């Protein structure tokens, strides 16, 4: 009986430890239109955090999964009239705070406007 309890407990802990969060794949740069005008450089950022109650394991995502999409949208908004980006670059920085980590994505590229 004692072995069964230990085995069940170890199985439950293993499932908890090895389970994790995930998000869907994100396309950062959309297909560029055939005709477009380059408006200038664009930069945008998006941040998210992984937090927990204690510093051993961080498991609570706070705005983490869509930070790349927010950074891309922020970059487009940074140039008036822009509808997309080309020549996109992506970088990510992080820092530790007492109950978690913060991750900031920066998306840069050339802002474009489609010509019809």
Phi, psi of 19, rounded to the nearest 5 degrees: -85, 155
Residue pLDDT, tens place only, 48-86: 998 876 656 777 888 888 999 999 999 999 999 999 999
For residue 37, being part of any structural domain is answered with: yes
For residue 1, being part of any structural domain is answered with: no
What is the structure's pLDDT at 96?
84
What is the structure's pLDDT at 25?
65
DSSP state, 98? T
The percentage of residues in the chain with a pLDDT greater than 90, rounded to a whole number, is: 48
For residue 16, being part of any structural domain is answered with: no
Distance CA 82, CA 80 (A): 6
pLDDT beyond 60 at 44: yes
What is the structure's pLDDT at 90?
92
- Taking residues 101-116, report their average pLDDT: 94
Tell me the pTM.
Answer: 0.72
The CATH code of the domain that includes 91 is: 3.30.110
Q: How confident is the model at residue 29 (pLDDT cuts 50, 70, 90)?
A: low
Q: Which residue range forms the structural domain that includes residue 85?
A: 26-114
Residues sharing a CB contact under 8 Å with residue 59, sequence separation 6 or more, in sequence order: 20, 21, 50, 52
What is the structure's pLDDT at 16?
60
Among 105, 80, 79, 109, which Cα is nearest to 92's? 105
For residue 5, being part of any structural domain is answered with: no
């Amino acid at each position: 009986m004692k072995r069964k309890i230990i085995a069940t407990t170890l199985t439950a802990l293993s499932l908890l430890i090895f389970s994790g969060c995930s998000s869907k794949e994100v396309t950062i740069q959309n297909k560029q239109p055939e005709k477009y005008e380059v408006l200038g450089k664009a930069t945008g950022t998006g941040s998210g955090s992984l937090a927990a109650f204690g510093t051993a394991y961080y498991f609570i995502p706070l705005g983490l999964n869509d930070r790349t999409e927010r950074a891309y949208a922020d970059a487009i908004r940074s140039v008036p009239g822009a509808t997309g980006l080309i020549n996109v670059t992506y970088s990510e920085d992080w820092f530790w705070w007492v109950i978690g980590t913060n991750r900031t994505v920066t998306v840069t590229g050339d802002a474009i406007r489609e010509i019809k």
